[in-house]
Amino acid sequence: MSDLPKSQALLVLAQLKFCAANLVWADRSNHSGLLLATAQPEDDTGAIIPGLTMQLEIKRPIIVNRCQYELGLFLLENGTRRRVYQLNVTPRDKRSHNQTSGPLYGPHEHVGDSVQTISDPDIQCGELEVAFKFFCDKANITFTGQLNSPL
């Protein structure tokens, strides 16, 4: 997977998106313990936005406060899946991302090729619905379907 440049990701994020899907969670075929749900956002006319996919992935935690949620928006561009936006939720004491300036711990977000920590205390393990709302707000998605949280 590659990332869109931040400037291009911001243009995609600025576009209004809608999703009325009732999400269905399934085991990820290549990784035991992970659940995956996907949906295709639509524009304001109800047409699916070409190449744009919402992918939500959660690791089934044995202990609730040791979660891992990855909520992402991806664009298929010239046959390459590119990250537009992704919210990663992990415990605040867990190394969750490595970058040249040093590791990040806890929740963080990717806006294209830019990564930053999330300081909002409500974005935490055990709060998938809160994280999903944060994700939808950041990705400019009006979600009217059902999350159907498997947690």
β-partners of residue 87 are 71, 109
pLDDT at 31: 63
Specify the amino acid at residue 62: I
- Number of residues that this document lists for the chain: 151
Given a cut of 70, whether residue 15 has pLDDT beyond it is yes
Q: Read off φ and ψ for residue 144, nearest 5 degrees.
A: -120, 5
* Three-state DSSP class for residue 33: coil
Q: DSSP readout, 87-133?
A: EEE--TTSEEE--TT--EES-EEEETTEEEE---TTS-TT-HHHHHH
Q: Extract the tokens encoding 39.
A: 């949906």
Given a cut of 70, whether residue 95 has pLDDT beyond it is no
Q: Extract the tokens encoding 90.
A: 């992990």
Span 92-112, mean pLDDT?
77
Given a cut of 70, whether residue 141 has pLDDT beyond it is yes
pTM of the model as a whole: 0.90
Window from 105-109, 121-125, 133-137, 138-142 with minimum mean pLDDT? 105-109
Kindly report, residue by residue over 38-74, the tens digit of the pLDDT. 999 999 999 999 999 999 999 876 666 678 899 999 9
Span 134-142, mean pLDDT?
97
Return the exposure string of 7-21: e unless at least 16 CB atoms fall within 10 Å of the residue's CB, then b.
Answer: ebbeebbeeebbbeb
Span 6-22, mean pLDDT?
96
pLDDT at 64: 61
pLDDT at 61: 67
Short-list 136, 141, 114, 113, CA closest to 123: 136
